[in-house]
Amino acid sequence: MINWGNFVSQLFNGLVLGALLALISSGLTIIYGTLGVLNLAHGALFMLGGFAGWMAYTYTGSFILAVIAGSLFVMVVGFIVERVIIRYFYDRPHEDQLLVTFGLGIVFVEGARFFFGSLSKIVPAPAGLGGILNLGFMFYPAYRVALLGIVVVALVALYIVLYRTRIGMIVRAGIEDSVMVDALGIDVYKVFMLVFGIGAMAAGFAGIVNAPVVSITPDVGEAYLVQTFVVVVIGGVGSFPGAVLGGLIAGEIISITSMINPGYSYVMLFVAMTLVLVLRPYGLLGTAGRD
Amino acid sequence: MSSHDKNGVSRRTLLTVGAGLAGSFALPGFSGQVLAADQPPMGTWPDGSKGSTVTIGAAVPRTGAYAAQGEDELKGMQLAIEHINEGHPLIKKIAPKVSKGVLGKKVDLVVADSGAKPNNAVQAQQRFINENKIVAMTGSTSSAVAVALNKFAEREKILYLVAISGSNDTTGKDCARYSFRQCFYGETAANAIGPVLVKNFGKNKKAAFMTPDYTYGHTVTKSVNDYLAKNGGWTMVTNQVSPLGTSDFSQYLTNIANSGADVIVNVNWGRDAVLSVQQAKQFGLTPKMKMVIPYQIPFLAKEVGAELTEGVFAATDFWWTLEDKYPLAKMFVEAFDKKYGYKPEWGAENAYMQFAIWARMVSEAGTFYPPDVIKQYEKGEKFDSMVGEVHFRPQDHQLVRPVVIVKGKAPKDMKNKEDFWEVMEVVPGEPLMQKPDAFGCHLGDYT
């Protein structure tokens, strides 16, 4: 159904969809960009954020507390996982890192299934955002519009922490030359743990703010994990602005293609990824040479 | 070496041959299983039924978009196995010759997760054939899996009891001699729910379809659209095809919002259905546009809440309030509720019936020899079920059974917390079905 009204609607929908993908992807790219670990448990962390938030919501009835609980819980999980497992894999081959994070993902998903079952859990949108907004060109769920704002704030906050603070400086120095940073008397491992925690928290935060849009099940992260990888590859692996750009591009591709032929919206996403890999193997905003 | 005599023939061989000869003299004309030359070994026969138990292999989705429904059918299977092994009165109503097992053997169930993926299901069943010598296999909650297992069953000569599968192809162009389907499917769903839709919504309506992108989705959408176009003058204004396992439906719903449709025919299934129903509401499409679900999803109402299924028309295999109408349904609902603490959905009913029917056919045939069991199915004898008398169609192995039309109750009309749907009609099956060869079914060989 190609007409002007639908085009504008899909353009806007692509923006919201893309913002969400950007948020989920940011955590993945932060961890890869700084620690060099491709975290296949990212989808599972996203899911854990949703469930932790849902539990907090069930007990308190507050959406804000649910968001805080979801984010903090997954951050703590991130700290523990880094300290107990990931730390021993920094110097090991990438295949080992993929396998261990993949395995962790399975443990988390099946653990959630054991405790919560397979039926989906709903966290309703906070009061006042449950309705529908008239945007002029279309009606759109109010919460999804609010989500756009939430994501922008969250991404800016992450950017500031990583690129405009002392911690961020240490982190980036640690990537370039961890031995030197160590020699300067800074505990690099502590910083790495912090980074993994922040990346995990981003996933958990995305998991709970996404819950009113897509209800939570143990598998909820799986579908997103695949899309997230596409986003990160398009934007440039390890590049934070790349994740944002990649997310927006992915969102628009999915939306606009669906207008022409819905059966191809995800196909086109992978076509775009392939094109990027052929023409710019390091992604749109990625830099060559990162090991 | 002590067991060998000077000629090198073992004593055991000599004894066996001797006993065999003596036996054949003693029983002239004996044509039983063991010695019958017309029943050559095939598949897992006769090894699978030599011991005191026989095993059925189930590959059900316990992960992925259809996980909740997979657990549902698994519960139905487990209850059926329990009933078969204890000779429960309900099983005996369907399979009178069952008494504490089938042909004197206990039945065992082995289970694997298919994730609703054809490859995983086939691999799991291959393992069960090798390791457990299964006499029958089951599972599917996706017609893609059912079609794959149909072909696999035909090749391996193992009976396949189709679990949930709504595609016309399962007993249509991809039908198989070794496969049998109990449940309703696209064509019968369309022809049962079509008249209800035309009657309730009127003629010449505009419909937006939501279709999962595989055999089930495409055949159900086609059947429903064909009926509505032909008999109600409806037009399909858009068909939103999405991959199985979609979580965000916003781009599809945006298209529907701009399509001017009056009715949304949502063919999505499992978790995809849950999410699309929830998101259609968030986008303000429902209740302004009416939602129709031609192929009912177990637990849908429980997951999205009665507010969202209120007024929704759906076609289904079974709903628990049919217990008021059919004695077997009552027995089933009671037994299920007692064991699991909630009312069964149609995935469990379908699985239970498939096992009960299998027990009936094997015990009536008096053998596990697959071609004889198949021929028993193909006799097309009538037997009782939870929705009245049913029988198999020999030409395509589809059970001739009614389709149940339900409508979502308003929360205030629910008599208890599981009273989500009101049964509108139980439509007799025979007139709903296409001609046996209309969808290109050619059953394969027996051996």
Is residue A236, in this structure, part of any structural domain at all?
A: no
Domains and CATH numbers, chain B: 47-184+325-396 (3.40.50.2300), 187-316 (3.40.50.2300)
User: Each residue of A207-229: pLDDT tens digit?
Assistant: 999 999 999 999 999 888 889 99
The confidence score (pLDDT) of residue B282 equals 93
In a domain, A253, yes or no: no
Return the top range by mean pLDDT from A128-132, A221-225, B35-39, B373-377. Answer: B373-377
B24 pLDDT exceeds 80? no
What distance in Å separates the CA atoms of residue A165 and residue A186, rounded to the nearest whole number?
15
Q: Which span out of A189-193, B28-32, B359-363 was modeled with the highest average pLDDT?
A: B359-363
Q: What would the mean pLDDT of A231-245 be, rounded to a whole number?
A: 90
Which residue in A has a C-alpha nearest to residue B238's C-alpha? A1
- Residue B352 pLDDT greater than 80, yes or no: yes
From chain B, pick out residues whose CB is under 8 angstroms from the CB of A227.
none
Asked if residue A244 belongs to a domain, the reply is no
Query: Which pLDDT band, with edges at 50, 70 and 90, does A182 fall under?
Result: confident
Does position B2 have pLDDT exceeding 70, yes or no?
A: no
The ipTM value here is 0.88
* pLDDT of the residue at A135: 87
pLDDT band at B8 (very low <50, low <70, confident <90, very high): very low
Say how far apart CA A240 and CA A232 lie, in whole Å.
9
If one compares A128 and B240, the residue with the highest pLDDT of the two is B240
**Inter-chain contact B67–A217, Cβ cutoff 8 Å?**
yes
Kindly indicate the confidence band of residue B37, based on its pLDDT and cuts at 50, 70 and 90. Answer: low
Q: CA-to-CA distance for A247 and A18, rounded, in angstroms?
A: 5
Task: Output the pLDDT for position B342.
Answer: 96
Min distance B304 CA to chain A CA atoms (Å):
8
Contact state of A141 with B247 under an 8 Å Cβ cutoff: no
Structural domain count of chain A: 1
Q: Which residue of B has its CA nearest to A120?
A: B303
User: If you count residue pairs, one on A and one on B, with CB atoms under 8 Å apart, how many are there?
Assistant: 112
The label of the residue with tokens 């021993």 reads: A88
Residue that has been written with the tokens 């992260």 in this structure: A221
Task: Report long-range pairs for B304-307 (Cβ below 8 Å, ≥24 apart).
Answer: B304/B274, B304/B277, B304/B278, B305/A122, B305/B411, B306/B408, B306/B409, B306/B410, B306/B411, B306/B414, B306/B420, B307/B411
Whole-number pLDDT of residue B36: 54
Average pLDDT over chain A reads 91
Contact criterion met (CB below 8 Å) for A84 and A29: no
For range B354-382, the mean pLDDT:
97
Range B247-263 average pLDDT: 94
% of chain B at pLDDT higher than 70? 92
Residue labelled with tokens 């999980």:
A77
Q: A3–B248: do the CB atoms touch at under 8 Å?
A: no
Q: Are A196 and A86 spatial neighbours (Cβ–Cβ below 8 Å)?
A: yes
Alpha carbon of residue B46 to chain centroid: 26
Residue A280, burial from CB neighbour count under 10 angstroms (0-12, 13-18, 19+) = middle
In A, which residues are within 8 Å of B237 by CB distance?
A: 1
pLDDT band per the 50, 70, 90 thresholds, residue B28: very low
Taking an 8 Å cut-off on Cβ atoms, the answer to whether A262 and B242 are in contact is yes
Q: Residue A127: what pLDDT?
A: 86
Burial of B265 (0-12, 13-18, 19+ CB in 10 A): buried
3-class secondary structure for B37-104? CCCCCECCECHHHCCCEEEEEEEECCCCCCHHHHHHHHHHHHHHHHHHHHCCHHHHHHCCCCCCCECC
Angle, to 10 degrees, between the axis of helix A240-260 and the axis of helix A4-35?
150
Using CB atoms, pick whichever of B258, B259, B282 lies closest to residue A141: B282
Residue B29 has pLDDT above 50, yes or no: no
Closest among B263, B260, B255, B204 to B231, alpha carbons compared: B204
- Report pLDDT for B6: 44
Q: Which domain holds residue A137?
A: 16-221
CB contact under 8 Å between B251 and A113, yes or no, is no
Strands B388-393 and B263-266: unpaired
Question: Cβ A120–B279 below 8 Å, yes or no?
Answer: no
Residues of B in contact with A1 (CB under 8 A): 237-238, 255, 258-259
How far does B303 lie from chain A, in Å, by closest CA? Answer: 6
**pLDDT tens string A86-105:** 999 988 999 999 999 999 99
Contacting residues of B for A259, CB less than 8 Å apart: 251, 255
For all residues of chain B together, what is the average pLDDT?
92
- Does residue A131 form part of some domain? yes
For B106, the 3-state DSSP assignment is: strand
Q: Which residues of B touch A (CB under 8 A)?
A: 62-65, 67-68, 70-71, 213, 237-243, 245-248, 250-252, 254-255, 257-259, 271, 274-275, 278-279, 282-284, 299, 302-303, 305
What pLDDT score was predicted for residue A170? 84
The tokens describing A229, both together, are 């990888």
**Nearest Cβ partner of A223 from B245, B282, B302?**
B245
More confident residue, B17 or A109: A109
User: Pairing relation of β-strands B136-139 and B159-162?
Assistant: parallel
Q: B437, B385, B406, B409: which is closest to B189 by C-alpha?
A: B406
Q: Is the dihedral of CA A191, A196, A202, A208 positive or negative?
A: negative
The pLDDT assigned to A289 comes to 53
B188 — pLDDT class (breaks 50, 70, 90): very high
Do residues A115 and A204 make contact, with C-beta atoms less than 8 angstroms apart?
A: no
Q: Which chain B residues are closer than 8 Å to A219 by Cβ?
A: 63-65, 67, 271
Q: Which residue of B has its CA nearest to A16?
A: B250
In a domain, A187, yes or no: yes
Q: Quickly state the pLDDT bin for A288 (edges 50, 70, 90).
A: low
pLDDT above 50: residue B26? no
What is d(CA A5, CA A135) in angstroms, rounded to the nearest whole number?
12
Q: Is B305 exposed, middle or buried (0-12, 13-18, 19+ CB in 10 A)?
A: middle
Q: Residue B41 burial by CB count (10 A; 0-12/13-18/19+): exposed, middle or buried?
A: exposed
Share of chain B above pLDDT 90, in %: 89
- Is A161 part of any domain? yes
Tell me the average pLDDT across B298-314. 96
* Mean pLDDT, range B100-127, rounded to an integer: 96
Q: Across the interface, do A259 and B238 touch by the CB < 8 Å criterion?
A: no
Report whether pLDDT(B3) > 50.
no
| Residue A167, pLDDT score | 81
Contacts with A258 from chain B: Cβ below 8 Å: 240, 251-252, 254-255
Q: In this complex, do B254 and A217 lie within 8 Å of one another by their Cβ atoms?
A: no
Is the pLDDT at B181 greater than 70? The verdict is yes
Q: Which two tokens stand for residue A3?
A: 């007409």
Q: B236 to chain A nearest CA, in Å? A: 12
Judge whether A241 lies within some domain.
no
Best residue in B235, B250, B256, B297 to probe A by mutation, most A CBs within 10 Å? B250
Q: Residue A239: its pLDDT value, please? A: 86
Question: Does residue A154 lie within any of the structural domains?
Answer: yes
